[in-house]
Amino acid sequence: ETGVTQTPRHLVMGMTNKKSLKCEQHLGHNAMYWYKQSAKKPLELMFVYSLEERVENNSVPSRFSPECPNSSHLFLHLHTLQPEDSALYLCASSQDTRGGSTDTQYFGPGTRLTVL
């Protein structure tokens, strides 16, 4: 049983749609992450939340909007996406690791997004 769940697992949307991806972690962690995995590209970190505050945004277009209402839940709101945004979107969680230590990130199964 995975400690990080993501829904939906698959999503097809048009460019004018608005949808949201959901991530939930059951590991007692307080940092959560969104990654994008495109074909033939390394994993790209999109957003980092620690203690429910956004600590990093790697120049992600504004059509992606994250939300972290509490330490167990993370959302990625999508609107007016482009076909090149089609990818596997992975969520991960870890302990808060600022300050010179690193805890392991545990990943969810991902949401396979297709933008038509």
Partner 1 sequence: AQKVTQAQTEISVVEKEDVTLDCVYETRDTTYYLFWYKQPPSGELVFLIRRNSFDEQNEISGRYSWNFQKSTSSFNFTITASQVVDSAVYFCALSEPYQNNNDMRFGAGTRLTVKP
Residue among 45, 50, 51, 92 at smallest CA distance from 64: 45
Q: Work out whether 38 is an interface residue with partner 1 (CB under 8 A).
A: no
- The whole-angstrom separation of Cα 20 and Cα 11 is 10
Residue 98 has which token pair?
A: 């600022």
Report the site for partner 1 in 53-112 (rule: CB under 8 A). Answer: 55-56, 88, 90, 92, 97-102, 104-110, 112
Q: Work out whether 51 is an interface residue with partner 1 (CB under 8 A).
A: no
Interface with partner 1 (CB under 8 A): 2, 41-43, 45, 48, 55-56, 88, 90, 92, 97-102, 104-110, 112
